[in-house]
Amino acid sequence: MCGIVAYLGGRRCEPILIEGLKRLEYRGYDSAGLAVLSPKGLRIERAVGRVANLEDKLERLGGLDGALGMAHTRWATHGGVTEANAHPHRDDRSGICLVHNGIIENYAALRTYLEEKGHKFHSETDTEVLAMLVGELYEGDLEHAVQAALREVTGAYAICVICEKEPGVLVCARKGSPLIVGVGSGEYVVASDPSAIVAHTTQAVTLDDYNVVKITREGFRSSTIHDVDVTPKVMQLELDLEQIELGSYSHFMQKEIFEQPKALRNTLRGRVDLDEGKVVLGGLSNFGKDLVRARRVLLTGQGTALHAAMIGRYLMEDVGKVPATAEYASEFRYRNPLIEEGTVVVAVSQSGETADTLAALTEAKDRGALALGVVNVVGSTISRETDAGVYLRVGPEIGVASTKAFTGQVMVLTLISMFLGRRRSLSGERGQMLIEELQKLPDKIERVLEQDRTIRRVTERYIERNNWLFLGRGYNYPVAMEGALKLKEISYIHAEGMPAAEMKHGPIALIDQGMPAVFVANKGPQYEKVMSNIAEVRARGGHVIAVATEGDEHIKTVAQDVLYVPDCPDCLSPILTVVPLQLMAYHAAVLRGHDVDKPRNLAKSVTVE
Ligand code: M6R
């Protein structure tokens, strides 16, 4: 969603801010803007659309001078996509200027209060209200004015604030929305995402909720909104530039699909003990006893993460030997859930910042559940709010369509289910077999990736079709859902994913001549049943594209197109069967001429409920 980057130091900040905004583009946005405090005063420029539009505008204006500034990409929440609503926003009295991620929930009441005091608003945003409030409370000290304003605010925020009257000061703060302060030599780069910082420094200070940081060239001070000193938490950003650059790939999504073998080798590294047939998860080691006593595992997430959680549910019961459910975090939170003693909640999230997932996690914790995180971004809010967890270690995921995070999530959930299972009734022998098979998966994914051209050719054949079905059973029912989601989000083709057996309870009415139906039809326990469902589609004129197991010749007699994956145990098959579906979605989007990494209306991490 929205992105923030700010700079204070000795260099001209405009190019640094623009480069930072470009690195944040993947998060999804609809307008951009920047403010620079120059010796001549405060300059704010904004533009609707891409960062490139803002860049063009700045070029036409001859650029902005100044070594203190901040910039923002906005994903509209309050108010339409207009230049007036784009950030930065300023107040009307004290020279305050502000960028903001998150939502100020009590903005309407604050706006009324400020209007009564005579303030005039120029936008429909909650952010302008916050800028005005800081201005209203300003008495010559920006840090104190920000603290005072934030004491009046409910909601979520990551903000950076500057003031014309204090040209060497940058103040930032956070609650519920990420923000980190990159500390370079004699300069600071503040951003909502490490990718906008690592080109300048890998030393960073993280902010906890309700922390305020005042930065000057001489140093910085961390405090709370109540002005109590806070000891800063310094961390090393584990990110290098190569990881966030495209290299020889055309899109980040493509790069990340092809990175999966390497990423999953990383996920597994040091976490399995083949001799004992068990897994070693440092992040869970202090909770072994609680997990043995667990009576129920509740997995939750949104979007792709939910699909991984659904596979996790099967794994927890089949391998982990514990009853399990999986559900949308957004639904869990508001249904007044009953949490019995011994419930373990597992929050699955790439970004670790998804508002719905975070809210569900908090709800489950408040009701007494042990909270585990399956998260990619180290130090993210969910990873900090959980009692324990296991990181994906798949590296930064930039493409809005989640790919390597999905296979990483399924791999980690497999490891957690084995961790549980070996403390229950999973035999050492089955543990060893699964570890051997897990270790073979990266090489097997490489074999699937080698079929990229075939997958593109097959996709091309159906590219004019506007309605697709994705069907699977058992472990591969969530894979069907994931295949449909991938196709929808980047190619804008309508697609439905469902359990193959559900089709005849209604959706079969959709099938007409030539409608593409993608079946995950690998050799699993339900293979024969899937064959019957394929026959039902063919009988009604549908075209079947099957993801099948290498060596299955029969499938060629029933499906128009076959994409093969290597054989593996059914419980691990989603890590292979999803790959052709990821590539199909990717090629469909490219063939339809869409911007794969910046799909319309979408944000990489959804930080509002
Ligand atoms: O960062 P998270 O894994 O919590 O994100 C959850 C969903 O928003 C995310 O998976 C979304 O569905 C992706 N765009 C799917 O490709």
As a whole number, mean pLDDT of residues 314-339 equals 94
248-450 is a CATH 3.40.50.10490 domain = yes
Every domain of the chain with CATH number 3.60.20.10 lies at: 3-243
Q: How many CB atoms lie within 10 A of CB 609?
A: 14
pLDDT higher than 90, residue 191: yes
Question: Could you tell me the CA-to-CA distances from 471 to 28, 269, 487, 499 in Å, in that order?
Answer: 30, 33, 14, 6
For the cut 90, the answer to whether the pLDDT of residue 388 exceeds it is yes
d(CA 464, CA 123): 42
Give residue 378's pLDDT. 86
Q: Is the pLDDT of residue 240 over 80?
A: no
The share of the chain scoring above pLDDT 70, in percent, equals 100
Reduced to 3 states (helix: H, G, I; strand: E, B; else coil), residue 298 is: strand
Is 357's C-beta closer than 6 angstroms to any atom of ligand 1? yes
Q: Rg for the chain (alpha carbons), in Å? A: 25
* Fold type of domain 3-243: Glutamine Phosphoribosylpyrophosphate, subunit 1, domain 1 (3.60.20)
- Asked if residue 196 has pLDDT above 90, the reply is yes
pLDDT at 602 over 90: no
Whether pLDDT at 1 is above 90:
no
Least confident residue range of 284-293, 296-305, 324-333, 443-452 = 284-293
Band of pLDDT at residue 364, cut at 50, 70 and 90: very high
**Confidence band for 65, pLDDT divided at 50, 70 and 90:** very high
* pLDDT reported for residue 113: 96
Q: Where in the chain is the domain with CATH 3.40.50.10490?
A: 248-450, 451-609
- Does residue 606's CB lie within 6 angstroms of at least one atom of ligand 1? yes
Look up 13 and say whether it is catalytic: no
Nearest-atom number in ligand 1 for the CA of 303 is: 12
Question: How close is the Cα of 350 to the center of ligand 1, in Å?
Answer: 7
What token pair was written down for 61? 């204006």
Looking at 2, 160, 172, 571, which residue is catalytic? Answer: 2
Q: pLDDT band for position 567 (50/70/90)? A: very high
Q: How far apart are CA 162 and CA 6, in angstroms?
A: 10
Helix (H) or strand (E) holding 449: helix 428-449
Which residue has its alpha carbon closest to ligand 1 atom 7?
A: 303
Mean confidence (pLDDT) of the chain: 94
Does the CB atom of residue 403 touch ligand 1 within 6 A? no
Closest residue by Cα to atom 12, ligand 1, is 303
Say yes or no: CB of residue 354 within 6 Å of ligand 1.
yes
For 568-581, write each residue's pLDDT tens digit. Answer: 999 999 999 999 99
419 or 26, which is more confident: 419
Q: How far apart are the first and last CA of the chain?
A: 12
* Distance (Å, whole) CA 367 – CA 339: 6
Distance between alpha carbon 181 and the CA centroid of its chain, in Å? 21
What integer pLDDT is reported at residue 27 of this predicted model? 79
Confidence of residue 609 (pLDDT cuts 50, 70, 90): confident
Q: Which two tokens stand for residue 476?
A: 């591969």
Rounded to the nearest angstrom, the distance between the alpha carbon of 566 and the centre of ligand 1 is 27
Reply yes or no: is the peptide bond before residue 88 cis, omega within 30 of 0.
Answer: yes
Report the atom number in ligand 1 closest to the C-alpha of 402: 16
Q: Is 304 in the pocket of ligand 1 (CB under 6 A)?
A: yes
CA distance 503 to 501: 5
Instruction: Please indicate whether residue 300, judged by its CB atom, sits closer than 6 Å to ligand 1.
Output: no
From 252, 354, 358, mutation site for ligand 1 pocket: most ligand atoms within 8 A of C-beta: 354
Question: What CA–CA distance (Å, rounded) separates 17 from 44?
Answer: 13
Residue recorded with tokens 């975090």: 329
Ligand 1 nearest atom to the CA of residue 602, by list position: 14
The CATH number corresponding to 451-609 among 3.40.50.300, 1.10.287.990, 3.40.50.10490, 3.90.180.10 equals 3.40.50.10490
Q: What's the confidence (pLDDT) of residue 142? A: 98
pTM: 0.85
Mark whether 604 is an active-site residue.
yes
